[in-house]
Amino acid sequence: MRRIAIVLGCLISLIAAGGCSHEISGGPTAAGADIGRYRVYYIVTDKADNEIAAALQDDLSARGLQVTSGLDWAIPAEAEVKVLFREKWGSDITHYLQELSIDLLDVESGELLASGRCYRSSIGRRSPPQMVREITERIFPAMPKRAATRLSRR
């Protein structure tokens, strides 16, 4: 009986430790890139109701940036930074955002200015807005969020 309890305890510990995995990284990638000088951002999305695009738009707008979103070919002339994101969803009992990557590119040169990635396992899951915030806080560490309203979304 004691042996069974020990084996079960070890098994539960292994499962719990393996299920808590998460990884967050991000920041400017170009040498000497001053991400703070850019003010007009365009989020590329293929759906008007994309939850990640909406969370990104809310977060960037709250940092005082001008943000719009839409299809890749519809980038406005005044846009300075193109925001690309990749999402990977997982499923266990429910559907959840497992991994999110965000890249910020200079619209004119195509140079990668900054990027970030957040990975969370099922047990360590966060909402899409929380995962967006985890990445943007590393990309814009000196630009805290403030109250702002969202600009029009295409």
Residue with the bigger pLDDT between 71 and 11: it is 71
Mean pLDDT for all residues in the chain: 79
Q: What is the pLDDT of residue 27?
A: 61
Give the pLDDT confidence of 34-66 residue by residue, as tens digits: 888 899 999 999 887 899 999 999 999 999 999
Structure tokens at 93: 């009992």
> How many C-beta neighbours within 10 Å does residue 33 have?
17
The whole-model pTM stands at: 0.75
Q: Residue 93: CB partners within 8 Å, gap ≥ 6?
A: none
**Residue 105 phi, psi dihedral angles, 5° rounding:** -120, 140
Q: What is the pLDDT of residue 152?
A: 41
Q: Domains of the chain, with CATH numbers?
A: 22-29+36-139 (3.30.160.670)
Mean pLDDT of 96-114: 92
Any bridge partners for residue 23, and if so which? 119
Angle, alpha carbons 85-73-107 (nearest 5°): 65
Using alpha carbons, select from 77, 92, 142 the residue that is nearest to residue 122. Answer: 92
Sign of CA dihedral 40, 45, 47, 53: negative
Spatial distance between the Cα atoms of 99 and 47, rounded to a whole number of angstroms: 19
pLDDT band at 150 (very low <50, low <70, confident <90, very high): very low
Any bridge partners for residue 133, and if so which? none
